[in-house]
Every structure is written in C-alpha cells, then in structure tokens.
C-alpha cells in the first residue's frame, strides 16, 4: 500500500483512524454483516469469515490465477481444486464438519451452493436465541478452523482428523457460551447446552 499510504503520511495525517479512513475500502452494508459481526463474535474468527466472503483468502485457485502456483489440489481430499467454495463448503472435510455442527444444533444440513448456504443463514438466523448464537459462532469458528487446518497441513505438516477438528470447534463454541443464564424450562436450550458442552463440570 506504499503508493496509497505515502501521500497520506506526508500530508500530516497522524492518527491511525485518519489513515485507516483514508485507505480503507468503503463498502456498503452487506446482508451477511450480522452473521459475522454480532455481540458474541470472536474477532479473529469473524475476520477470516469476512475475508472468505469477500474471497480475499489466498486459496490455491487464486494463487494459480496470479501465476504463483501450479498445484491446485485440495489439501483435504487431494482430489478437487481448492477454490473457496470447495474448501469451506463442498469438500468432504467441510461437509463432515457442517453436518455435525448442524446436527449438534438440532437441524439438518443440506448440501447446496455457496450462495444458497449464506442466503439461508441470513434469512433464518435472525432471532435472538441460544440456537442463533450457537449457529453464528459455530459458522465463524468452522470457517476459521478449516482455514487454520488447511494452513497447518500445507506449511507445518500437522494433521487433525475431521472428528478432532469438530471437537476443537465444539470446545471453543461451548466454552464461549458456558454458564450463560438459560431458561431451564426450555427443552431446546437444555439439549443445545448439553450437545455443545456448555455446562461447567
């Protein structure tokens, strides 16, 4: 960003806010805003989701288009091309995690396109409920850990199985929501709290 930052810095704009306002891309509010940025969100997880939705992550397909990479195979299934939609939704690894996350939340996961997946989330996860909080947290945490696991496999040679990855996601979501005041007469909330291990031992 040197060419953009230099005139701002030399014009005497000293505060971080002024510099950020000058260089950031001004984008309109998008419908998925509330799925990613909500009161209970985990900032580093939401950041990766946000970059994923803007298709800014350096997936192998994008690096290939830039002429930086020849091997585009998905690191999880070693079969198909690592596009954003494949890595985060259609790959067998992603599908296992989504199915499990949805099942722990008492709903069924149907394979669908990237756009349908988000449209459904935007239209259905609106109310203030424990279920909605879990789904939004789990979605961002899943995207974060799929990307994290992909990078660990690529650059560190470390591998977690799909059930191990799911367990990590479940632990983080459960811990984040642990010991919240739940309506103990609500059977749905009790089941959700148990499935996501939200009750302190």
d(CA 146, CA 178): 23
Q: Which is nearer to Zn ion, 72 or 77 (CB)?
A: 77
> Which residues of the shown chain bind Zn ion in the complex (CB under 5 A)?
74, 76-77, 91
Q: Which is nearer to Zn ion, 132 or 151 (CB)?
A: 151
d(CA 156, CA 166): 20
Shortest Å distance, C-beta 168 to Zn ion: 19
Shortest Å distance, C-beta 79 to Zn ion: 6
d(CA 196, CA 180): 13
Shortest Å distance, C-beta 73 to Zn ion: 8
Q: Which is nearer to Zn ion, 87 or 193 (CB)?
A: 87
Q: Which is nearer to Zn ion, 8 or 77 (CB)?
A: 77
Shortest Å distance, C-beta 86 to Zn ion: 6
Expressed in angstroms, the distance from the first to the final Cα of the chain is 50
Instruction: Map residue 73 onto helix, strand or coil.
Output: strand
d(CA 105, CA 99): 10
Residue 198 C-alpha from the chain's centroid: 20
């Amino acid at each position: 960003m040197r060419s953009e930052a230099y005139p701002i810095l030399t014009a005497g704009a000293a505060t971080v806010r002024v510099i950020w306002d000058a260089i950031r891309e001004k984008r309109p509010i998008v419908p998925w805003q509330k799925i990613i940025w909500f009161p209970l969100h985990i900032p580093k997880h939401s950041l990766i989701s946000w970059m994923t939705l803007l298709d800014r992550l350096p997936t192998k397909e994008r690096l290939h288009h830039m002429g930086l990479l020849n091997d585009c195979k998905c690191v999880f299934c070693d079969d198909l091309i690592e596009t954003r939609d494949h890595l985060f939704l259609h790959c067998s690894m992603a599908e296992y995690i989504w199915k499990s996350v949805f099942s722990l939340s008492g709903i069924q996961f149907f394979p669908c396109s990237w756009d349908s997946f988000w449209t459904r989330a935007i239209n259905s996860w609106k109310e203030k409920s424990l279920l909605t909080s879990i789904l939004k947290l789990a979605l961002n945490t899943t995207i974060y850990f799929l990307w994290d696991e992909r990078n660990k496999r690529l650059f560190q040679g470390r591998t977690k199985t799909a059930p191990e990855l799911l367990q990590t996601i479940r632990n983080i979501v459960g811990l984040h929501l642990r010991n919240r005041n739940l309506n103990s007469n609500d059977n749905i909330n009790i089941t959700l709290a148990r499935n996501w291990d939200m009750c302190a031992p």
